[in-house]
Structures are given as structure tokens and as C-alpha cells.
Amino acid sequence: MSETLQKYAKFPLLAVIFTVLVKLLFLLTHHIQEDAFITWRVAQNLLDYGVIGFNGETKISASTTHLYVFVSYIFNLIFGKENFIYPLLIFNSLLFTIGSYFLSKLILENPLHQAIFIFLFGILPPSIKISILGMEYGILFFLEMALLYFGFKQNKIWAQILFPILILFTRIDTVIFLGIVFLADIIWNKKIRWFYILGGILGVVVLMSFNWFYFGELVNNTIVAKSVTYAKNMSLALQWKYFLMNYGNFWGMLKLPGDFNPFTILVLFFELLAFLYIVSKRESKNLFIWIIFLFGWTKQLIFISQRSYFDWYYWVPQILLFAVILVFVLEQKTYKLWWISLLLIFYILPMAAFQTVHSIATGNGEWNYRRSIGLFLKDYEKDKNQYILLEPAGYIPFFSGLKAIDEVGLVDKEIQAEIKKDKANYWKNTVEKRKPKYLLAPKNLFEGKDGSFYQENYQLLKEFRIKNHLNSDNKILEKIYRLKPSGTDYNLYERK
């Protein structure tokens, strides 16, 4: 490294610290993903019953991620059930940002450029969500970038064996990432890394063995439940409608109301141009540019083809595809400051502002509103062995402490059998058969064809309305709440 670059050597690590501190401000929004509470409930179930499950001693892989369950378990053990959330979110933010540090080392040579990249990359909306929403993607991004940095840039054998095991134990769909890395490396280097193959084989064996010997299944229950519940035979017109509603998730980062989002097309266009410009130069770093770009496209196309519309599936591909634009801008020889200024003023800062508004509004709708339902039930029902039938199974079971039956079957396998048997009537059939003490529904159950059944067996306990949670002493917050109200109206019923 030249003497000029040497003086910037510490800048990337300083950028990691600064970026984490900036992102910690988003913790004030209380924007935490519903599914994170499912994983945390599983971790606490392990703590209380010594069983990986959701409802007492019943074993079930209710969380998509095994590794993150164990990490959450450790944080519960150290900090306690009441205090583990924010230390864990800070840990996730730190891991993700260290992952971006590894990525900067892979695709940029100048330490000053790496530092700028870490910060700009870290305040993109998907990066913020990966860091603070409580899901497993912070640890996953760290592991994936660590694999590339230690396993392929530094050619460490231990990394080629260890990281595939940890990555697959975090999420089973990471076979896509591991496969793209394998193929790109063979084509680029014209050789096979046998230790990496060993790591991949061990990863599959460890994951499948754990699933089989502990849960009696090869594939996580969450995947099975979603495949059973969600519609597969949609018409082409309906598929196109859902695609338009969700395509802002796929290549862009800004999901605006309405079907057409021109920003997504613009981002996609510049990503392609930047990628072609960078790979036209034959440089060693291009292996990693190819890997992140091919992975971003491959994962998105696979999940789009499977009609997977949950936005968190696309967070990592979104930021990896955008990384090439940052590399393109930072490596400009002339007018570099202008390029960076334009990117900041017209894209990065507006995106961060949008995410701030989104996080404040969503945090209100979930932490302030949905959590309040759980807290109401926690005080109202002292017998924590009682069941509630609802959807989704995150905030409310976690904060109420009640056992849960969710409509999708993520946390309860019995409802999957009802869905297979009679999908049109599985909700009522479950209520008839299981007799849960509480029902939480986004509609009036006393109306419709089964209204008389519910009136005979249940009474309305309380109505929860999002409009009652759009007020704040802070007028700016109140305007944001009303600008983007987040939440669903619910009726809570108790069995007579």
C-alpha cells in the first residue's frame, strides 16, 4: 500500500463504528419485524422448556433459522427476557456492518473509498432493515461476506469448511448463494476448491441431520407450512397483479404506493450499466463483482418465480446489486466529488429519509399498537396454557405469553392438516375442534355464514382499532402516523 493510502488505513474501521452509531438512532423508531418475535419466542421456549418449539414441550421448527435461535437463546440467557432485544439488535447491526467492511475489502482497494462505501452502503433502506428489524439477515450477511473474504480472497481452508456450515444452519435457501459462489469460482479460476465442496456437504449433512433427528423432518416446518397455505394455482392476471404490487421489492429499494414505480426501473438501469462498465475492465476483484451480481439476480428470479412476496427475501440481493453503483461512483477518475454528491443528494439521503418515515410509522403500528394487544392479554389472562388463534404469531403471543395457533401453521402443525383437509373452512373447523379460548380476527366473526356458530360459542371481548393509535404529543410524529398509518383493525373474542 502506498504512503498516501496508508494514512487512510484506519478509516474503514472508523466508518464501521460511525455507521453503527448512526443506525442505532433507528432503534428509537421501535420498528421490529413481526417474524423476529417468532424466533425470539422459540429461543425463550428453549430457555423455559429445554425444547426448540413454540408452545411448551411440543417440538416444532417454527423459526426459519436455527443458528439465530441459538444466538437469541444466548442473549436471553445473558440479558434476561425483559432486556435482551436491544443488545441483540445492536449485535445484529454490528455484524452486518462488519460484513459490509469485508465486502468493501473485496471490491475496493483504496481505504478511503472503502470507508465511504461502508457508510453509504450502510444507510440504504435494506441495510437499515437488516440491521434493526431483528431478523437473521445481519448474521447471515456477515457470514456470507466472511466466507468470500477469508475463504476466497485469502484462501483460508478453515473458512471454506466452517462458513458453509454456519450459513446453511442460518437459512436453508442459502444454497443459492453457496452454489453461485462455487460456479463463479470454477469459471474464474479454472480449478475446484475441494475443501469448499467439503464445507458445503458438511453444511447440508449438519442441517438435514439436525432437522431429522430433532424434528423428524428434512425441511423446516416454516417452508412446509407456507407451501401448504399460500395459493399456488393463481391465474396469469392475478400473478401479474401481485408482481406489479411487489416489484419494488425485487430490484429497487423504494416501495411506493401504486403499481408503477419508476424509481425501480431507474435503479435497475443504472445497476446494469455500472456492472457492465466495471466488468469490462479485467481486474481480480471482478470475481466478487460477478458473484454478488449473479447472486442478486438469481435469488430474485427464483423467489419471483415461486411468487414469494415477503420483502425480507430481497433485502440482501437489493443491496448487493446496488453495491456496483457505489463502486462505479467511487472509482471515477474525474469529477468524483460531483458523482458522490449527486448520489447522496438525489438518492441516498432521500432513501434514508423515506426509511426513517417508514420505520417511525411501522414502529407505531407494530410496537405501540400490536404489542398493546399482547400486553392487554398478558394482564387479562393469567393462565398461559390457554390458546389464541390468530395471524401473525409474532408480537401478540410473545408479549401475552399465551400459546398460539397461527393461520399459516408456522407455530402449530395441526392446523396444516385442517388446511389440507378443507382449506375453505379450516379456520372454523380448527375453532370447533381445538376450542381455543381466544380468537383474534381482522373482521366481525358474528357476520357471515358462520356468524351464528361464533355468536353461540364466543363473546366479543375487545375491539382494537389502529385509528386510536395515531395520536402523539409530538406533532411531527403524529403527522407521520397519519401520513402512513400502519396496522390492522382487530376484534378479540373470548370463548363463553
- Summarised one tens digit per residue, pLDDT across range 160-183 is 999 999 999 999 999 999 999 999
Question: Could you tell me the pLDDT band of residue 44, with boundaries at 50, 70 and 90?
Answer: very high
Closest to 298 in 3D by CA, of 277, 275, 316, 325: 316
Q: Across the chain, which distance is largest between two alpha carbons, in Å?
A: 82
Residue 223 has pLDDT above 80, yes or no: yes
How far, in Å, CA of 452 to CA of 433, rounded? 17
The set of cell numbers assigned to 483 is: 401520513
How far, in Å, CA of 188 to CA of 221, rounded? 37
Q: pTM for this one?
A: 0.94
Asked if 193 and 232 count as a contact pair (C-beta separation under 8 A), the reply is: no
Residue 428 CB: number of other CB atoms within 10 A? 16
Question: Could you tell me the pLDDT band of residue 262, with boundaries at 50, 70 and 90?
Answer: confident
Asked if 253 and 124 count as a contact pair (C-beta separation under 8 A), the reply is: yes
End-to-end CA distance of the chain: 75
Asked if 24 and 113 count as a contact pair (C-beta separation under 8 A), the reply is: no
Phi, psi for residue 220 in degrees, rounded to 5: -55, 140
Q: What count of residues does the chain have? A: 496
Q: What is the pLDDT of residue 259?
A: 56
Give the alpha-carbon dihedral of 79, 82, 87, 90, to 10 degrees.
170
Mean pLDDT of the chain: 91
Q: What is the pLDDT of residue 222?
A: 86
Query: pLDDT, tens digit, for every residue of 386-411?
Result: 999 999 999 999 999 999 999 989 99
Asked if 220 and 64 count as a contact pair (C-beta separation under 8 A), the reply is: yes
3-state secondary structure of 285: coil
pLDDT over 70, % of the chain: 94
3-state secondary structure of 462: strand
Helices H / strands E in the chain, number of each: 24, 5
How far, in Å, CA of 159 to CA of 148, rounded? 9
Asked if 305 and 240 count as a contact pair (C-beta separation under 8 A), the reply is: no
For the ranges 35-49, 90-104, 297-311, 350-364, the lowest mean pLDDT is seen at: 297-311
Alpha-carbon separation of residue 90 from 19, 22, 42, 47 (angstroms):
12, 11, 20, 22
Domain boundaries, the chain: 3-331, 361-495
Q: What is the pLDDT of residue 164?
A: 98
The set of cell numbers assigned to 49 is: 422448556
Closest to 67 in 3D by CA, of 136, 150, 134: 136
Q: Where are the alpha helices (DSSP H) in 331-370?
A: 336-343, 349-363
Cis before 436 (ω within 30): no
Residue tagged 434476561 (cell numbers): 80
How far, in Å, CA of 427 to CA of 406, rounded? 10
DSSP 8-state code for residue 378: H
Q: What is the pLDDT of residue 232?
A: 63
Alpha-carbon separation of residue 305 from 82, 142, 299 (angstroms):
41, 27, 10
Phi, psi for residue 493 in degrees, rounded to 5: -115, 145
Asked if 33 and 135 count as a contact pair (C-beta separation under 8 A), the reply is: yes
Closest to 487 in 3D by CA, of 405, 411, 373, 401: 373
Question: Could you tell me the pLDDT band of residue 53, with boundaries at 50, 70 and 90?
Answer: very high
3-state secondary structure of 404: strand
